[in-house]
Amino acid sequence: MRDRGFAVGEALLAVAIALAVGALFVLIADDSPATAYEALWTSSVGSTNALAQSMTTAIPIIVVGLGMGLAFRVGLFNLGGEGQMILGALTTAVVGHALASLPGAITFVLAVVSGCLAGAAWAVLPALWEVFLRVPLVVTTLLLNYVGALLATYLAAYPLRDESGGSTLAQTAEIPSALQLPIIVPNTPLHAGLFAAVLAPLGVLWLLQRTSLGYAMRMTGLNRDFAETGGVPMKRTIVTTMALSGALCGLAGALLVMGQTYRYLDDSIVSPQTAWSGLAASMLAGFHPLFTFVSGFFLAALQTGGSGLQLATNVPLQLVNVIQAVIIAMVAVRLWLGRRVLRR
């Protein structure tokens, strides 16, 4: 428990430093940090509606953060959460639309499962290259982000484009209403995907703490050589971990489509840096699934506040991306300290 208290203190320190750096950037944009942070606060948690908006934004961030964080805990730098999430979102949108004539429940299950599978496939590929060819997956997952994003844009702009509404944006057709997650707080965007964001951390925690696969995963994360000597089937553990990691990222994309956009909307994931917010949240939480929920909400509130910030002041909303990067840089130093303590 003492360890955990330490981590919370470090996380708060990282956030404080990042917000201070953010204040400097507000000064560059020729505005007052007090006004900017007040606007950020008001539009992120200042009212019921803002709070619900932040919680809605948090849903995919938490789930994609759990996915990427799961791989990181096992010592696998899955930097491809973005591409995995994009393919999950696109697949859910396309399958949901294509199977609209089936009974609602069947469409629902097939659409969600296919979204997870698409994300998993995009993560298993680099895992197999890593395991059998020793191609570092940190590089291939990064490159696959670009391939995934361009592939999705191409599909949404040409073969799968929604021609009905005359929209100028590249987007697929709307998913059937059976697939659209119900709003749980009236007059706000907050949808039933929240339950997934609550259950997923519990599921990951259960996996890590209560199953033999989770035990193998944790041991691999602590010391790969030691785990292998101790009988952990390394190749299988790496591939399975990446599959689960990618499936969670794909689920995050599915939740975005079913709860917010109701279709695959081009560039609904890359520009808001949803996947990277998720990773930042996971790192801030020390890769603990339950704390990821809290830090995910915090980073989502920052995102939501960023839009309000841009409306109320002349501070661009990308301020939150700067803050997020500083948080990761600060946490990077702590991660290493944690490892050193373990080694000695």
Partner 1 sequence: MSDFFSIFDFALILSALRLTSPILLAALGGLLTDRAGIFNIGLEGQMLVGAFLGFAGLYWTGSAWLGLLLGVAGATALSLLFGLWVIRLKGDPIIVGLAVNLFAIGLTAYLTLPVFGVQGSYDDPALEGLPRLFGFSPLVYLGALLVPALWWLLFKHPFGVRLRAVGEDAEAASEAAVHPDRIKFLACGLCGVLCGLAGAQLALSLVTQWVQGMTAGRGFIALVAIMLARSHPVGAAAAALLFGLAYAMAVRLQGIGIPPQFVSMLPYVLTIAVLVLLARRLRNRPVTT
Q: Which residues bind partner 1 (CB under 8 A)?
A: 25, 28-30, 75-77, 79, 129-130, 133-140, 142-147, 150-151, 153-154, 157-158, 273, 276, 279, 283, 314, 316, 318-326, 328-329, 331-333, 335-337, 340
Q: Measured from the CB of residue 324, what is the shortest distance to partner 1 in angstroms?
A: 7
3-state secondary structure the chain: CHHHHHHHHHHHHHHHHHHHHHHHHHHHCCCCHHHHHHHHHHHHHCCHHHHHHHHHHHHHHHHHHHHHHHHHHCCCCCCCHHHHHHHHHHHHHHHHHHCCCCCHHHHHHHHHHHHHHHHHHHHHHHHHHHHHHCCCHHHHHHHHHHHHHHHHHHHHHCCCCCCCCCCCCCECCCCCHHHCCCECCCCCCCECHHHHHHHHHHHHHHHHHHCHHHHHHHHHHHCHHHHHHCCCCHHHHHHHHHHHHHHHHHHHHHHHHHHHHCCCECCCCCCCCHHHHHHHHHHHCCCCHHHHHHHHHHHHHHHHHHHHHHHHCCCCCCHHHHHHHHHHHHHHHHHHHHHHHHHC
Q: Smaller CB distance to partner 1: residue 138 or 185?
A: 138
Q: Smaller CB distance to partner 1: residue 11 or 181?
A: 11
Q: Smaller CB distance to partner 1: residue 46 or 316?
A: 316
Q: Smaller CB distance to partner 1: residue 300 or 326?
A: 326
Q: Measured from the CB of residue 29, what is the shortest distance to partner 1 in angstroms?
A: 5
Q: Measured from the CB of residue 330, what is the shortest distance to partner 1 in angstroms?
A: 9
Q: Smaller CB distance to partner 1: residue 102 or 128?
A: 128
Q: Measured from the CB of residue 61, what is the shortest distance to partner 1 in angstroms?
A: 15
Q: Measured from the CB of residue 300, what is the shortest distance to partner 1 in angstroms?
A: 16
Q: Measured from the CB of residue 233, what is the shortest distance to partner 1 in angstroms?
A: 17
Q: Smaller CB distance to partner 1: residue 290 or 329?
A: 329
